[in-house]
């Protein structure tokens, strides 16, 4: 609990050495008691100063009268205090690294470096240390809120399916495309000869692109589109946000593919699919079926002996001995040894980098070379590859997140009112 009252005693000598007295100067006082915590008046004052500085920089104009603003701040601090106490009881911690990343993010949102951000808030009379403490509190509160809302908000499978069938759901879960665009405009009231000249230029650019020319450079040099100076980059767009003349084409294209010239009333277009993301893209997961044998060092086996044993076992399997028999007898991976070294179907990124690289480079049915990772010496055999379609599951996840976010604010307000009503609060100012 915070210190309830901070007092300073000053001895003031007046006139002669025997005429002296002590006076008490109050530096801070309790503004409110909230369960096991207290809110100090200095906290209210600091928050008021920060909000006034923020409002002064915004188009909203002047803040409300001090008494109204003070009351609003007090209520906010009370509800924050309740949530901070819940976070502390739940063992929520915010590391310095996480806090630093949050501060850098806030600075970036204001188009400032962290040093510039620090100077800016200090110019407003706000302590950077106090600002860091406030951001730490907000991160703790955010973590508590997410945890509570996760349990309070229920989304049924039927809700998700209904949403996916709706027009909004179809739009939300549609893939996004990042396109490069070059527009060669035709003059207003152009003659057939002028139009043909523009088309010929578009054909020439298309040939250059197919031969490896840089799309961005050609867009900057020749395009008359609004995004020309950005290398023709149209940014991320859903199909409904892509111009109709090439929205259907875009969905058929492969990454880095170039299409054109596409004629429109304004001229000739060339497009390039730079990136694609979403359920249909990210839901297609490449999987590999693999088995391995691991030999580790031990108190009775040196590093060199472990390597030599792995190499010897690999030669035995190449000579005709069954892989699963060797794995059961010798592999030091308890999770796979009993199943003959089988790791089942997995995707890239699940294993240590050395294992991932060897698995990616191995042909089906061929034993890899012996290689070392942090776990010991391995060799592996890829027994199959496939593309697993998780796009529908991915879409359901997108839909659930969207619906959950839709309900979040309303449910959060309800919960915050509940905890405010259930807390012991004594306002002293």
pLDDT tens-digit readout, 321-350: 999 999 999 999 988 999 999 999 988 888
How does residue 138 score in pLDDT terms, banded at 50, 70 and 90? very high
| Range from 4-13, 60-69, 94-103 that averages highest in pLDDT | 94-103
Can you give the pLDDT at residue 23?
53
How does residue 272 score in pLDDT terms, banded at 50, 70 and 90? very high
Using CA atoms, how far residue 248 sits from 177, 225, 302, 376, in Å, is 12, 20, 62, 51
Architecture of domain 176-277: Roll (3.10)
Can you give the pLDDT at residue 78?
95
Q: How many C-beta atoms lie closer than 10 Å to residue 393's C-beta?
A: 12
Q: What angle separates helix 114-123 from helix 128-152, to the nearest 10 degrees?
A: 110
Spell 104-142 as b/e; 16+ CB within 10 A means b: eeebeeeebeeeebbebbeeeebeeebbbebbbbebbbe
Percent above pLDDT 90 for the chain: 60
Rounded average pLDDT over 146-152? 91
What global pTM score does this model have? 0.57
Establish whether domains 176-277 and 284-389 are of one fold.
Answer: yes
Peptide bond before 261: cis, by omega within 30 degrees of 0?
Answer: yes
Q: What is the chain's mean pLDDT, rounded?
A: 88
The domains of the chain are located at 30-152, 176-277, 284-389
Rounded average pLDDT over 392-413? 91
Q: How far apart are CA 185 and CA 218, in angstroms?
A: 15
What does the pLDDT look like over 225-244, one tens digit per residue?
Answer: 999 999 999 999 988 889 88
Burial tier of 21 (Cβ tally within 10 Å: 0-12, 13-18, 19+): exposed
Rounded average pLDDT over 283-290? 86
393 or 261: which leads in pLDDT: 261
Helix (H) or strand (E) holding 28: strand 20-28
Can you give the pLDDT at residue 377?
96
For residues 424 and 33, the answer to whether their CB atoms sit within 8 Å is yes
CATH (residue range 284-389) = 3.10.50.40
Q: How far apart are CA 121 and CA 94, in angstroms?
A: 22
Cα–Cα nearest to 281, from 192, 201, 357, 395? 395
Position 180 pLDDT exceeds 90:
yes
Position 8 pLDDT exceeds 50:
no
Lowest mean pLDDT among 68-72, 77-81, 198-202: 68-72
How does residue 61 score in pLDDT terms, banded at 50, 70 and 90? low
Q: How far apart are CA 310 and CA 295, in angstroms?
A: 6
Position 53 pLDDT exceeds 60:
yes
Can you give the pLDDT at residue 248?
86
Q: How far apart are CA 80 and CA 83, in angstroms?
A: 5
Radius of gyration for the chain, computed over Cα atoms and rounded to the nearest angstrom: 33
Lowest mean pLDDT among 105-114, 278-287, 340-349, 373-382: 278-287
Spell 335-347 as b/e; 16+ CB within 10 A means b: ebbeebbbbeeee
Which phi and psi angles does 233 have, rounded to 5°? -70, 115
Can you give the pLDDT at residue 26?
60
CA–CA–CA angle 114, 116, 118 (5° rounding): 70
172 or 364: which leads in pLDDT: 364
Percent above pLDDT 70 for the chain: 93
How does residue 302 score in pLDDT terms, banded at 50, 70 and 90? very high
Cα–Cα nearest to 206, from 242, 257, 253? 257
Using CA atoms, how far residue 242 sits from 180, 239, 248, in Å, is 12, 5, 9
Position 393 pLDDT exceeds 80:
yes
213 or 50: which leads in pLDDT: 213
Rounded average pLDDT over 243-252? 88
Can you give the pLDDT at residue 283?
77
CATH (residue range 30-152) = 1.10.4030.10
């Amino acid at each position: 609990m915070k210190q309830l009252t901070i007092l300073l005693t000053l001895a003031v000598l007046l006139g002669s050495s025997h005429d002296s007295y002590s006076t008490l100067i109050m530096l801070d006082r309790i503004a409110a008691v909230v369960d096991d915590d207290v809110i100090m008046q200095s906290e209210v004052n600091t928050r008021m100063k920060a909000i006034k500085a923020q409002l002064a920089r915004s188009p909203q104009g002047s803040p409300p009268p001090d008494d109204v603003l003070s009351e609003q701040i007090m209520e906010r601090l009370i509800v924050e205090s309740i949530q901070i106490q819940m976070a502390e009881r739940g063992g929520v911690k915010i590391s310095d690294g996480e806090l630093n990343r949050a501060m850098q993010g806030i600075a970036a949102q204001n188009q400032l470096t962290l040093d510039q951000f620090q100077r800016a808030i200090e110019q407003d009379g706000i302590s950077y240390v106090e600002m860091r403490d406030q951001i730490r509190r907000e991160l703790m509160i955010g973590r508590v809120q997410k945890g509570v809302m996760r349990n309070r908000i229920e989304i049924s499978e039927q809700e998700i399916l209904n949403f996916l069938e709706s027009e909004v759901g179809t739009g939300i879960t549609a893939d996004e495309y990042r396109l490069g665009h070059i527009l060669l405009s035709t003059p207003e009231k152009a003659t057939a000869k002028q139009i043909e000249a523009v088309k010929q230029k578009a054909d020439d650019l298309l040939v250059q692109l197919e031969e490896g020319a840089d799309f961005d450079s050609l867009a900057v040099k020749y395009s008359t589109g609004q995004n020309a100076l950005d290398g023709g980059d149209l940014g991320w767009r859903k199909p409904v946000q892509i111009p109709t003349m090439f929205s259907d084409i875009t969905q058929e294209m492969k990454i880095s593919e170039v299409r054109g010239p596409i004629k429109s009333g304004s001229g000739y277009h060339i497009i390039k699919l730079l990136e694609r993301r979403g359920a249909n893209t990210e839901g297609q997961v490449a999987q590999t079926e693999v088995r391995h044998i691991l030999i580790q060092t031990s108190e009775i086996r040196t590093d060199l002996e472990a390597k030599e044993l792995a190499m010897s076992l690999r030669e035995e399997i190449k000579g005709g001995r069954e892989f699963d028999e060797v794995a059961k007898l010798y592999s030091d991976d308890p999770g796979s040894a009993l199943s003959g070294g089988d790791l089942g179907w997995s995707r890239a990124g699940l294993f240590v980098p050395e294992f991932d690289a060897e698995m990616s480079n191995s042909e089906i049915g061929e034993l890899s070379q012996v290689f070392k990772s942090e776990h010991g010496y391995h060799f592996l055999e890829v027994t199959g590859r496939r593309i697993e379609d998780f796009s529908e599951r991915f879409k359901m996840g997108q839909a659930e997140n969207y619906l959950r976010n839709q309900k979040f604010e309303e449910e959060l307000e309800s919960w915050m009112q509940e905890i405010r009503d259930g807390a012991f609060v004594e306002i002293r100012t």
